[in-house]
Amino acid sequence: MKKAILICTCSFACPSMKDIDFAELSEKIRLEIPEASYMVLHPRICERNGEEMMADLLKEGVIYYTIACKPEKQEKLLRDGFQKAGVIMERDKNWVPISVQFKNTDQVFEEIERALKNGGE
Amino acid sequence: MASNSYMGIPREKIPWYPAVDENACTKCSTCLDFCANDVFEQGEGSVEVVRPYNCVVGCSSCQNVCPSGAIRFPDMRQFVETLKKLREEYRNK
């Protein structure tokens, strides 16, 4: 199954994400995680503009790794985007949430790397 | 990297944070659990906004999860205009 990474940067303004350099993180993912077919950086996936992107982008047959706030929060905030895309959101099947809160760039990168190398196909 | 400024404007100059209607608040703590940035604390009569400038500019997700509709944010259209003026003001500082 194809693997895609959706990164929500929370407008680069969330205090809980202050230790993450999103530019460095995305470039490391691009260069060092070939398992990811592609990656999208968005300032606020959970809001209207992000949901519209999800509606256009999401499809069956892809595992989406969402890099954002804590999983329980993501589940509430991203549900509408999946729904607009007509894709059923199933945790650990086509949707793998990864929290970036209170972590630094290296910690987040390692977690994403581990998830993509071990999870899914 | 996140800092205490947003688009070049000091965070404390940006009027974006929640307000809690103490008559509507049931003190259920949903917002406290939801917000990672410790914006809220449980007060005597209702939840209180104690660290307003920890609120992520433009984020109003807590409003959506409050079961009693007690949380309000500034009007987004007006806020965008305010932000434009602030950006202009701080552009050359």
B12-44 pLDDT, tens digit each: 999 999 999 999 999 999 999 999 999 999 998
User: Which is nearest to A51 in space by CA: A23, A102, A86?
Assistant: A86
pLDDT of residue B3: 58
Residue A120 has pLDDT above 80, yes or no: no
- Mutation target vs A (from B12, B56, B77; most A CBs, 10 A cutoff): B56
- Which pair of structure tokens corresponds to residue A58? 């999401």
A11 at interface of B, judged by CB pairs closer than 8 A? yes
β B47-49/B40-42 pair status: antiparallel
A73 at interface of B, judged by CB pairs closer than 8 A? yes
Answer yes or no: is the ipTM higher than 0.95: no
What is the enclosing helix (H) or strand (E) of B42?
strand B40-42
A20 at interface of B, judged by CB pairs closer than 8 A? yes
β A2-8/A62-68 pair status: parallel
Residue B4 has pLDDT above 90, yes or no: no
Query: In this structure, what DSSP letter does residue A91 have?
Result: B
Q: What is the pLDDT of residues A65-113, one digit of tens each?
A: 999 999 999 999 999 999 999 999 999 999 999 999 999 999 999 999 9
How confident is the model over A49-61, as a mean pLDDT?
Answer: 97
How confident is the model over A24-46, as a mean pLDDT?
Answer: 96
Q: Do A15 and B2 touch (CB under 8 A)?
A: yes
pLDDT of residue A72: 92
Contact present, A98 and A65 (Cβ < 8 Å): yes
Mapping DSSP to helix (H, G, I), strand (E, B) and coil, where does residue B78 land?
helix
pTM confidence score: 0.84
Q: Do B6 and A13 touch (CB under 8 A)?
A: yes
Residues 80-119 of A with CB under 8 A from B: 101-102
- Which pair of structure tokens corresponds to residue B90? 């701080």
Residue B45 has pLDDT above 90, yes or no: no
